[in-house]
Structure 1
């Protein structure tokens, strides 16, 4: 049976739409629903929510999001993640979209950016918000554990949230806690969360950062394969180039990041604490 239109693909490559497993088009799509930056590269599904998501939002979070807008200015008529996705759809978008619920967003809503365990009441708030997100169509829980406030969560806290996701057959995905010297321990943490919460888990942009740590990657792969052999649905994704890009705050010592970006900037402006930061940073020197 012939289609309405036939294309001679001789000498060309044919593929289904590509999936951007870690998309930060959440704001760009509000400006350009046609998604020209990705559609023209063949990306037809944007999966958003690495550690932070576009909901749930408190009134304070909405105000801070408004104040932090860059070149793209936008209204924030939504509160929940599901309302954001509906808002996108109603504005009109060419790509398919999906999103995880970020644990940083849950934490900021319930706790703020303090580095401490949640109270029982705060934990229940995060669980209920996560449950709402899953019922609205989220695909699971995400963490980005080298950033604030996502990384303030201890393993047990993440397991408790992941158990909520397991009720909806969702998955856990993580920018793991350490991609450098502590890579193997960070992989172990993700596997432990998967095992305890009984749900699939995936490692975002699987890598060993810094040439001094490259040898750890083989051991990390063996850990993933061993977990899969035991029946755990552990997967990874990666980008196929030997560089990475993130914010300066990632290389700063943990004490310098505890109060959030505004606090970090204040510490950087102080000559004494700025020198202390510089002394403690582990710079990677190429061979």
Structure 2
């Protein structure tokens, strides 16, 4: 009943957007917009879409206060990561409308929250993304620039690093990050993705 009378419990249908779908014309539209186009109730639009696409539909919803996010980020026990889902590989056709965090999580923290809003020092921001997370997850050879550790390095300009991804146009690389090295291989070279595929699944020791 909560779905039928206005939303998914937390947000309305105008705040739930299609991120990925075989029907590409629906990507980037809200459930409310699709319902208006089809002339049926939003909850029926949702169910019809899930049935038609066999539940292979990705979505983005607006459920959080940005000010609360900022408060949580500044907490000393908070680590920084992302649960984004890449929808493509390389610089080929970029499908879908993924959440902007796919491209912008870490540059937004470095640029907006550390440099511009000064919620934390730049050093603290980097530590929350790297050494602190690696230590908590027991990844013993990651997270620090230290001899014998895996060569995972992001080279960025602290004065210009900034996320560029938006909800309408999410497939935009950040600025101010010319090089990314993964396991010793250059993954981003002069701001462009290379052909290197050196990433791997990491597990803590048993």
What TM-score do the two structures reach when normalised by structure 1? 0.23
What TM-score do the two structures reach when normalised by structure 2? 0.29
Report the structure, 1 or 2, having the larger helix content: 1
Structure with larger RCO (C-alpha < 8 A, sep 6+): 2
